[in-house]
Structure 1
Amino acid sequence: MDVTRPLAPGAPAAPHSASGEAVDTHDLDAVAPPPRPARRWTPKRVVATPAAYDHAHGRRIMALVEAHGLEVERLRGNRLTGLRGESDRETYARAKATMAIVVSPPSRRKLQPIAPSADWRVDLAEGCPAHCQYCYLAGSLTGPPVTRIYADLDDILAGLADYAGRGTITSRRADRRDEGTTFEASCYTDPLALEHLTGSWRRAVEHFGAWDAPVQLRWTTKFDDVDGFVGLAHHGRTRVRSSVNCRPVTTRVEGGTSRLEDRLAGLRRLARDGYPVGVTIAPIIAVPDWQAHYGELLDAVAAAVGDVPGLDLTAELITHRFTPGSKEVLLGWYPRTRVEMDEQARSRKHGRFGAVKYVYPAETMAQLRSWFQHELADRLPSCRILYWT
């Protein structure tokens, strides 16, 4: 990625009121301007399979969609159709603009471990309307990238009790045992991009809030539409993380997402409402002058949440990587991308089942890891790093 824009010189001045008097940073919420309207996705086409109509939550989703002035098209069968265009680009555009209300396949109901994030991956949806040019879903999902919302949410949530206490990532690790059995609900989607049309994650938060057990729901987002979550009886059993990055990444390769400032403002609101929160810094990309750019990011996080009483803040640090398959898909979606995917500049690694992936060389990885560990401890001393990968 070519990064030429210099950072603004000097540190930001201390905030002042309209009269010119210095303002106590603990009172910033009282003097800050009203928040910007949250960024919300509006699909061009919404379809529902016949099976989705058999589930109460599916019908709730349809009612929400219609309340937003969108029409729900009932398909004749349970197979999604009409997504293919005359070219890969047209197929991509059609799929990205489509929301499908479906029933989850049986494979999604059998939970899988999701190391290093959580004990179990639980899917409430699949697909994301954002346009991130490094999107890891390009190598994880097959077919056109349509956003599928699962109508059988009530059955999905009811089945989670069978997995409590059975995980190996947080349930049995001494350094994370305080999190209880963890369920990651944003592996294949972005909750806040979809919540205004689905209500799925709000119901999940309420489910965990009423679940009197050592369990935790987890999800991460690049959006800021948190209004529906403030005031819920979450009882600290949902950790919301904001997926953040340095400005050369957020402004150039994360299309269709909320601004960094708005994401952090949303994170602050949730932290003040008692949620455990976190930042998912991903993917960490070694752009030119990356130390200065990521230093600016960490300072922005500290300014957003550093003064929140009782703050429970974590960080998850994920470096950029790609596979031959994901590179091929991404270059088809974004042929002029600035994201560096040069196999010659990377180390070749083998993942699970022998899959090939390309990561930063050991020297670069060591520099990145050392810097983030030191700077997080210095700039956000209350922040706990959950993992590095």
Structure 2
Amino acid sequence: MLDIRRIYLEPAAAELPRGQEILARFPGAELIEVESHHRIPELYGDETNVSRWVRIKTESLVLGIKKSLTARPNGRSSDFIAPSTANGCAMACAYCYVPRRKGYSNPITVFANIDKILGYLERHAGRQGVKPEPDQVDPRDWVYDIGENSDCSVDATISGNVRDLVDLFGRLPNAKASFATKYVNRDLLSWDPRGGTRVRFSLMPAADSKLLDIRTSPVADRIEAINDFVAAGYEVHVNFSPVVVREGWLDDWAELLTHLDDALSPEARAQLAAEIIFLTHNDRLHEVNLGWHPKAEEVLWRPDLQQPKRSQTGGWNVRYRTGHKGRYVAALTDLISARLPYCNIRYAF
């Protein structure tokens, strides 16, 4: 997945222990100093990069300092979005929203000031005290999403940031980490999460994944890993996302749910919960995809099924039409309730 040949780095990041650790891991890489990790013209905002989309993800790494430390309220997947310890991704899912923000490529950026991030999170969790009552996020803990802009399973192949986070939340009495992933990294099974980390394996029918989940672990491998992660001390949920409406979509979801039901151990079933997120697409990402993966747009860009809404960044997001979408959501949630009656559906939209 990674063949790092160039590391763009902020000099201050290279001076920190985590930065030095990452540089030592890739001793043959060309080092290119930059003023800011998010202002690198040859990576971001250059439309000619679309033809080198996957190559840039494979060969480039950015090493920076996370300057703004804020835990933003969430309320769906988590109570808070933790400050990022990385952003970008080595994978190339055709529906990913991150390229909309970073331009025509989004290789992994790792933040070296992990100690400051850990300290901030521990103090923030301490200020929350005991969670006053159960909610759909968690019945007991304050949950922090640690992977909003990256895939933590892949990030863990580059640095110790993710392990440090798992260790932190393993000892916090009132807080839990959470991240969604499409990559099976079995190195995580040797860690000791002590129930303090929720892993959300993203699942979709195999036909959709083959077309849209570029450079990810096969869906069958993600399902196979669930029991092992539960046995290793992780809480494991599933993330049915994005749900793409197309001919035969519900039949393919029924097949996926049967596969999942057959694979789960009693322990995995007892703690299973799901999030369901139907596809939201974007006109700018649509244009990007036409330059490297136009086949995906045949199912992602469906004006006959979708309605536009102006995004906060000035573009247009598209989602399934009001009224129709409600029927799609009901059809899938009814199917899940029938096939996986033990699975708590935390939310669906």
**TM-score tier after normalising by the smaller chain length:** 0.7 to 0.9
Residues 177-215 of structure 1: CA deviation (Å, up to 9, x unaligned) = 52522111221111222322222212211111122x211
Give the letter aligned to residue 89 of structure 1: V
Shift of 1:76: 3.2
For residues 194 and 237 of structure 1, the distance between their equivalents in structure 2, rounded to whole angstroms, comes to 19
The structure 2 residue matched to 1:201, chosen from 142, 162, 165, is 162
What is the match of residue 202 of structure 2? 243
What is the match of residue 153 of structure 1? 114
For 1:234, what is the secondary structure of its paired residue? coil
| Structure 1 pair 145–176 and aligned structure 2 pair: CA distance change class (3 A) | closer
What is the match of residue 342 of structure 1? 302
| Contact 2:144 2:178 survives alignment (8 Å) | yes
The structure 2 residue matched to 1:57, chosen from 18, 30, 51, is 18
For residues 231 and 245 of structure 2, the distance between their equivalents in structure 1, rounded to whole angstroms, comes to 33
What is the match of residue 98 of structure 2? 137
What is the match of residue 117 of structure 1? 77
Residues 148-181 of structure 1: CA deviation (Å, up to 9, x unaligned) = 11111121111113432778xx976634352522
What is the match of residue 304 of structure 1? 263
Residues 218-237 of structure 1: CA deviation (Å, up to 9, x unaligned) = 011111112x2224221211
| Structure 1 pair 239–44 and aligned structure 2 pair: CA distance change class (3 A) | same
Give the letter aligned to residue 289 of structure 2: L
For residues 86 and 353 of structure 1, the distance between their equivalents in structure 2, rounded to whole angstroms, comes to 18
**Do structure 1's residue 76 and structure 2's residue 33 form an aligned pair?**
yes
| Structure 1 pair 311–41 and aligned structure 2 pair: CA distance change class (3 A) | farther
Shift of 1:125: 0.8
What is the match of residue 379 of structure 1? 339
What is the match of residue 246 of structure 2? 287
Q: Which runs of 5+ in 2 are unaligned?
A: none
**Do structure 1's residue 357 and structure 2's residue 317 form an aligned pair?**
yes
For residues 342 and 286 of structure 1, the distance between their equivalents in structure 2, rounded to whole angstroms, comes to 9
| Contact 2:86 2:155 survives alignment (8 Å) | no
For residues 314 and 41 of structure 2, the distance between their equivalents in structure 1, rounded to whole angstroms, comes to 34
- TM score, norm. by length of structure 2: 0.87
The structure 1 residue matched to 2:185, chosen from 207, 222, 225, is 225
Shift of 1:288: 1.1
| Contact 1:271 1:305 survives alignment (8 Å) | no
| Contact 1:236 1:276 survives alignment (8 Å) | yes
What is the match of residue 256 of structure 1? 215
For 1:176, what is the secondary structure of its paired residue? coil
For residues 64 and 213 of structure 2, the distance between their equivalents in structure 1, rounded to whole angstroms, comes to 29
| Structure 1 pair 257–74 and aligned structure 2 pair: CA distance change class (3 A) | same
Q: Which runs of 5+ in 1 are unaligned?
A: 1-39
Equivalenced residue count is 341
For residues 199 and 346 of structure 2, the distance between their equivalents in structure 1, rounded to whole angstroms, comes to 14
| Contact 1:138 1:330 survives alignment (8 Å) | no
**Do structure 1's residue 127 and structure 2's residue 88 form an aligned pair?**
yes
For residues 238 and 327 of structure 1, the distance between their equivalents in structure 2, rounded to whole angstroms, comes to 34
For 1:325, what is the secondary structure of its paired residue? helix
What is the match of residue 150 of structure 2? 189
For residues 144 and 91 of structure 2, the distance between their equivalents in structure 1, rounded to whole angstroms, comes to 23
Superposed CA RMSD: 2.8
Residues 293-352 of structure 1: CA deviation (Å, up to 9, x unaligned) = 001111222222243367311111010111233323333343343333133431234566
What is the match of residue 328 of structure 1? 287
Shift of 1:101: 4.0
Give the letter aligned to residue 110 of structure 1: T
- TM score, norm. by length of structure 1: 0.78
What is the match of residue 329 of structure 2? 369
Give the letter aligned to residue 46 of structure 1: I
Shift of 1:87: 2.3
For residues 355 and 134 of structure 1, the distance between their equivalents in structure 2, rounded to whole angstroms, comes to 15
| Structure 1 pair 311–201 and aligned structure 2 pair: CA distance change class (3 A) | farther
Determine what percentage of the aligned residue pairs are the same residue.
Answer: 23
For 2:156, what is the secondary structure of its paired residue? helix
